[in-house]
Structure 1
Amino acid sequence: MFTRPRAAIDWSTEPIVAEANWQRHQTVRPSFVALAETLIAESGRDSRRIDTDKVVGALTNICRTIAAENLPDRSDAIEAILERPGNARDAIWDYFTYAGAKGVALSNHIGELLTSGKVRIIIASMIDEGRLNSTGDVGSDGIPLMSPDSPDTEALADPGGDELDPVSTVYKLISSVGLSVMVYGPGDLSECFVATSEAAPLFSGTVTESGLLGAFPDLSNVYWFGIDGVDGSAIVVPVTPDADVGRILREVVDPLSTLGAPWSTAIARGSVVPTTFARIFDRSVVRRVWNLPGLHTLRPVDAEPLELSWSLRSRMMADEWRNISGNFFAKEVVDAQGARITVHFASWRGSHAVFVALGESIDGRVPDEMTRIELSSCEIGVAYEQVVLIERLQGRGCPSFADVGGATDRVVTQFGSLSGPFADPMPPRAADQHGEGRSAPRYDRGRNSVLELARGANCELETNRLRVELEWESGPAGATVDTSALLLADTGKVRSDIDFVFYNQPRHEVCSVRHEKYSGTAGAHDYVSLDLATATPYAHTIVIVGSLDGGTFSSLHGLRAVVNDLDSGHTIISFSITGSTSETALILGEIYQRNGGWKFRAVGQGYATGLRGVAEDFGITVD
């Protein structure tokens, strides 16, 4: 009570002189800046890409946290000292001497911790994850902020397209992953890709299967796509859970953060995206990556032409063209004789085309009597298993609205000049828009027919939503069959373990492929449900596997694999599996992409090594 009150000290400016009696007891007094520079050098990374101040900040945070916990009454002074610039922060070691023996002991503890191997590991990990990079800021959740054009964000609107609509497919992809890296701006997609690949050379080495998603040969589980619209364009890199985040930060996020106007960059969380990107996405189409500069060598010989622009699609629909799916349109018109006919717009032999269907083809050929028709324009060919009167638009690019209108008028005029049985047009099957007179067996979806396949046979699929399962007539009571799926790249292997959908991992993270279960009269049934539209840009082949939890397939009699159409509820494909002996797992069938569509092949190959053996054969790591 006899002590005179001291004036408050401003520790942010007050010089600190160590108490001589205590300073000699301090044995570890590292310089924060020097220690940070040492840790950066030890990391092996390019020191120009790492922010020394951020490393110093990480070290002072450790010091601040421990000191404030043990000297709570001095936390304001500690905070003020650690906020000083450069080497002035090192005065904290002198300040600790003011706390006597406890302060000196605490000083030694913190100094030893900061120079320990544990902190070296922590800082090295933060550097690897890109949290201490010199470009861009980091949010409170540790995610780089990059350089968006505005802080405004909004939830991306669901485009509401059908299962074949690429924009709807990529919307689901963005929404299903946690984070997506975005480059966006007012230029066209070719300009956006050139700027992106110059900043991040990784993009120049893109590979692709379907063209809708690009991938990187030596970076697993990382894909990208490009959108082109009325208000600009964008390149998006969805970050899947199994992706190498460290490499994405170093090779994608960091270099893209250096991009300047007119391009902005951002990391979206789920479907919450920058408002400007949402506006671009709302009026855009997905471009296949092989149409971009430097990637033309990826384009297959039989690739479809360039996607229609959003503007052309909008004008066509305003002109009463009905969008069947993707770039496939139909329109009712009246010819010169007053007859109503259906005109179609789609791709044919690498070009956009306008056509009228004349009738069924014969094994993919034009009937002889139709080859003798004299035409002043157009041509007769086979498209979508129909004989068609067709006019191709020149080139692989996107046609103009005037081009579409002119071709339509010429086809309608030519059709009006036909006589005989050819003047009774038949509409092509919209579900077969990707084919050209294919001769594989098929089921008639409209007649509820079941196509019986022999082992090794294949057929085309007219629906995207399927259920595949095993059925049997008799067997041991309570027999349990597990059904699973493996999603393969065009290498014939899975990309990672997430591509194995089974009872312990019942849903795929990117595609709508699920393992589900119900109890039937013959026992417990597992089945696999699929929406092939969501798998189109991701998987080349989906292998369906059945396995037994005890016993062998020889004990199940009348065994057959069954494919059901989830939309109609009907069985569409079936094939018997015979000759089983010691097999405990079977590859029931393969669903694979061919000529822009999906096909099913009956396999029936047995494995005595069970589900583990099948999984390992396709690249799954089994613990």
Structure 2
Amino acid sequence: MAEGGARTLRTAASKTTGPVPVPADRPLSGRRVLVLGGTHPTAAAGRARVVELGGAAAINLSAGVTDVVLLAEGAADRRMPRIAALEIPTYPADWLDAPAVAPLPRWVIGRRGPLVLPRGGVIDLPDQQLSAVWHLTASWAQRTTCEVDLVAFLVDEDEQVSCDEDFLFYGAPESPDGSVRLLADGPAEQTLAVRLGALPSAVRKVVVAAAVDGTPTFGDVGALQLTAGCGSSAPPLAQSALDAATTERTLLLAELYRRGPRWRFRAVGQGYDHGLDVLARGYGVDIEE
């Protein structure tokens, strides 16, 4: 059961070639929209509007993109030739005020996409899959000047680690018992693999965060896309586009936490101007000066 107003996006299969009916207040249901160009705040507002209209905000030109919105200088984006070759519809910024959409491509009709969570959105994880390995994957538009590191904190009911080894980062990518591992999937994607059923009982929450190395901020990185799914090959159960403001250097992405006998996933999206060292100390990690 979802909290935070999040709703599952479902597109019913149609036997006709006409457009699939969608709720009038969610005209982008079943669609995955890529926003190009603009300043970071205007692009973030555009992605938030996509989610408000029932769509999923894409961060990169993935295979599932159905529409593209062009903000200022978006037409000059290096991906535009590929978008044109794929014949993906493009629209100006004001299209998001009252989008009129073309029929969904045939490959989208009947496909059930992941639940799109807004910032703060929560879902319960299926009980029958808690013994499996859950993958939380963060991805972002590749930047040559920014390095983003995924980190995790395994914390107790007081939101403190029981030992420094419960802080996972690139230099210590696995928990002592092997229940949580960081996987480097490339320069613009990293994954946290969590076997919930193997976590020690004292661990009440797994906090997932990202940090920018050096002087850049998340304003330079842009939005991060976060997906949560059972295993590496199954379609994700949920996804969220997280936009920090211009000055943050660390960003809380998500939490996996116990609520009674169940585990829940929350998309957070809370940024801070301070560095990773300050964030880690807040969870009880002893950082050497």
TM-score category of the 2 structures, normalised to the smaller one: 0.5 to 0.7
Aligned to 1:470: 138
1:548 aligned to which of 200, 204, 212: 212
Aligned to 1:53: none
Q: Does the Cα contact within 8 Å between 2:168 and 2:174 map onto a contact in 1?
A: yes
Asked whether 1:454 is paired with 2:122, we answer no
Asked whether 1:492 is paired with 2:162, we answer no
The total of aligned residue pairs comes to: 181
Q: Does the Cα contact within 8 Å between 2:134 and 2:195 map onto a contact in 1?
A: yes
Supply the distance in 1 between the matched residues of 2:112 and 2:176 (Cα, whole angstroms). 33
1:422-479 Cα shifts (integer Å, max 9, x gaps)? xxxxxxxxxxxxxxxx5646769xx75311111112111123322223222x353263
Aligned to 1:24: none
2:181 aligned to which of 514, 517, 523: 514
Asked whether 1:582 is paired with 2:250, we answer no
Q: Provide the alpha-carbon RMSD of the alignment.
A: 2.4
Cα 1:479–1:448 change in 2 (3 A) is: farther
Aligned to 2:196: 532
Supply the distance in 2 between the matched residues of 1:609 and 1:477 (Cα, whole angstroms). 22
Aligned to 1:618: 283
1:175-215 Cα shifts (integer Å, max 9, x gaps)? xxxxxxxxxxxxxxxxxxxxxxxxxxxxxxxxxxxxxxxxx
Q: Does the Cα contact within 8 Å between 1:466 and 1:563 map onto a contact in 2?
A: yes
In structure 2, give the amino acid aligned to 1:460. D
DSSP-derived class of the 2:165 partner? helix
1:609 aligned to which of 271, 274, 289: 274
Q: Does the Cα contact within 8 Å between 2:116 and 2:238 map onto a contact in 1?
A: yes
TM-score (norm 1): 0.27
Alignment map for 1:61-100 (pairs within 5 Å): none
Supply the distance in 1 between the matched residues of 2:282 and 2:258 (Cα, whole angstroms). 21
Which segments of 5 or more consecutive residues in structure 1 lack a partner in the other structure? 1-437
Cα 1:517–1:478 change in 2 (3 A) is: farther
Supply the distance in 2 between the matched residues of 1:512 and 1:443 (Cα, whole angstroms). 29
Supply the distance in 2 between the matched residues of 1:514 and 1:475 (Cα, whole angstroms). 23
Q: Does the Cα contact within 8 Å between 1:443 and 1:572 map onto a contact in 2?
A: no
TM-score (norm 2): 0.57
Aligned to 2:256: 591
Aligned to 2:100: none
Q: Does the Cα contact within 8 Å between 1:517 and 1:524 map onto a contact in 2?
A: no
Aligned to 1:600: 265
Q: CA deviation at 1:579?
A: 4.1
Cα 1:574–1:561 change in 2 (3 A) is: same
Supply the distance in 2 between the matched residues of 1:481 and 1:448 (Cα, whole angstroms). 31
Q: Does the Cα contact within 8 Å between 1:442 and 1:459 map onto a contact in 2?
A: no
Q: Does the Cα contact within 8 Å between 1:502 and 1:515 map onto a contact in 2?
A: yes
1:560 aligned to which of 205, 208, 225: 225
Aligned to 1:9: none
Larger Rg: 1
Supply the distance in 2 between the matched residues of 1:490 and 1:540 (Cα, whole angstroms). 6
Q: CA deviation at 1:496?
A: 1.3
Supply the distance in 2 between the matched residues of 1:467 and 1:591 (Cα, whole angstroms). 11
In structure 2, give the amino acid aligned to 1:506. P
In structure 2, give the amino acid aligned to 1:527. T
> Which one scores higher on RCO, CA 8 angstroms, separation ≥ 6?
2
Q: Pick the structure with more helix per residue.
A: 1
Aligned to 2:107: none
Q: Pick the structure with more strand per residue.
A: 2
DSSP-derived class of the 1:616 partner? helix
